Structure 1
Amino acid sequence: MPEYALLELEVSTLTPLHIGTGVDLLHEYDYIVAGGKTWRINHGALLEAQDVDDPKQLDFLSRTPPARLLKPTDFTPQSPFFRYIMAGAPRATGEGAVLREQIKDVYDRPYLPGSSLKGALRTALASTLWKQANRTLNLTDLGFSARFAAQRYERELLGRDPNRDLLRALQVSDSQPVGSDRLMVLNARIINQRGKLGSPIEMEAIRSDTTFHMTVKVDLALFSEWAKRAGLTLPAESALMNLPGIVNARSRSLAKREEAWFAAVPGAGAVASFYRQIASVNLPAGQMFLPLGWGTGWESKTLGASLMQDPHLRETLLRKYSMTRGRRNKGDPFPLSRRVAMRVQKTPNGALQETLFLPLGWVLVSFKVVKGPQSVWRG
């Protein structure tokens, strides 16, 4: 038996994708909006162009936002005063407005972290194993922290310790970077089923139709006779080998529920149509749909709807882990809202007009085995 299998992946964004750094960029300090585009300021180059030997000028610089040092002639793609330029602009353009930062490498090139893809695959696998085992939730088995509440169940499903964790056999690389031209400014909103919009959430994001290249290594030695003798046997080997089928089944199920939810939302026809396509397409072997990153919703990050079938249990969980915000009546479905990408356009009179555009973070993963048995990751 080969020691490992190597797969090459192409991960193509179907909708805008945001994987954040946790840093908020400040308008006029980190970026500036001009000509319908968003320009990320190069602080080092801008500072080098100033006369810092003059005490008065130095005092002026300490009190002045960097964007106000720029001249109209500076706004060219060749200018050294900008690290990169993004299509689109945030709604908020006052001093101190924020833009959530997208993860990039040291050269400002966006990439897809292997940990993000592996985490999404892990969630899909755990959710499916939970259903296959016909498990029921026992509140006494849950931890006190919301972040680690289901750790006991996760260990039962995927392995009791790091040495025996099923996903130890799955090694996912970071992707190769893409150009900064694949960045955009995304205006997102929270929306409830009545169509009421929450406050704007603005961020850097990866544009649709961007393709990342990465590799996955499946450590087959961990399923060998040697591993069994060493006490390193991993659970659910067959599930890991059939991961694309598991992921696609879960993605279709999620898309059907989201299509039904958005079908009742005024003005959300485009979003419902997208989910209808995801739910109806039968992908060929070697491909899978996957929700990834920020804004894909509570269900995509957890065991999902199977936890919320019992109304009493649902209310207990929501209260125990403070999972709701704002006004919610006991017995209401959960979650009450979704995050969506908005299309923002100016009307002829200069006002901003928003329309519901797309869901967030859906990708198409295409893969092929380049080394090892072709039976790995059966589609």
Structure 2
Amino acid sequence: MGNQNLRFKGVIDTTFRDGQQSPLMFDSYKYRLSLEDKKDLIYGLIKLGVRDFEFFSPIVSASEFEDFIHLKEYVKSLHIHNVRLLAHCRCHPHDIKRAIDAGFDGLNLYIGMTKLAQEFSHGIKFKEIISSVKKTLKEVQATYPHLYLRFSAEDSFRTPLSDLYQVYDEVHTYVNTLGMPDTVGIATPEMVKERVSALRVRYPDVDLECHFHNDRGFALINAVTAIKSGVSYVDTSVWGMAERSGITSVTGLLLNLYYEDKALCKNFDLKLCYPLNVLMGSILKHQVPPNEPVSITNRTHTAGVHQKAVLNNPYVYEAHDLSIFGVTSNNLLLGPLSGKNLIHYYLREIQFYDVTFEKAAEIAAEFKSKSSKMSKKNKPEKILAETIHNYHLTKLSIKEEFLKNRVENLN
């Protein structure tokens, strides 16, 4: 990746805001993260290298406000420099005052400017939006000069660029960052590159921040494209949890940035990526999602041809070194597609049967003939155990101290 346009400063985590809006919170019957959940997650994210965190505005609920007060003190006790806690607020004086009184380090202010938002959301006309937002930001910046300020036009990629210019031209001198949220997930990489480049040229002295929803499955590639085009920040969450289909996954983004340009990840402890994903799984009582790049699923193999090759050299079917990101083992799943190579390996190396390769091939043929019987209650391991019963295999005698030193290789 050429770095002439790179201004990447890091991710802004929104697990505690947009993440709690995820349908997964309902699928898991969790509904909201507890204070202890939040402490565990923010600790993990800080250890990973994240320094900016977005929270609900205090007006959302008393419980979220109280949790924030406790989390603020908890983060302070960690003695980590440069952590910023940001409130996601409407451009409304009451919201802003509550957030400032709560002790947030910055405000992520937003308002929708599309015709849909004007008519069906807040009901404010475009000219009034311009004057109101300018007045609000000017007053906040003057009164609280050390407060971090970001302003975003909600649904930026459905907002005409000319409308963005009209508003951003009036306010860019009062903020640290201009946001470009793809609120409804309509952006494509081409659109992202074009729009980020245009704003980068027009507002060279402010940071740009992007927030991509995954409605079209583009959240990750859009985030990478935005960084390559010159944004300073991308919003992420653990597992990409957010409204609807979610947003950019923090660990998925870091994996891709590492393979684009390792320097982009210099402030992150990448080996903590997978433990962070597992932590969320333990909180929600869910497996790490199968579409999450940093997962054991991405090192799991079921087809016989793949399994044979991986037994000899994992890189045949594992192009990326996921151990860098904390996934230090792989899975070979016994099932209907498993061939004689895995059957031999499983019986000899896992179950310690004295079985020849030729005998394993016979067993594999019989095992695969019973694949239609496999189910949740009748698992492949059980069927294989029943299959080998008539082969009268004997167990190998292996001393326990030798087991950890064995070479797990087909040949």
> Normalized against structure 2, the TM-score is what?
0.21
Which fold has the larger relative contact order, with Cα–Cα distance below 8 Å and residues 6 or more apart in sequence? 1
Between Structure 1 and Structure 2, the one with more helix by share is: 2
Between Structure 1 and Structure 2, the one with more strand by share is: 1
> Normalized against structure 1, the TM-score is what?
0.22
Larger Rg: 2
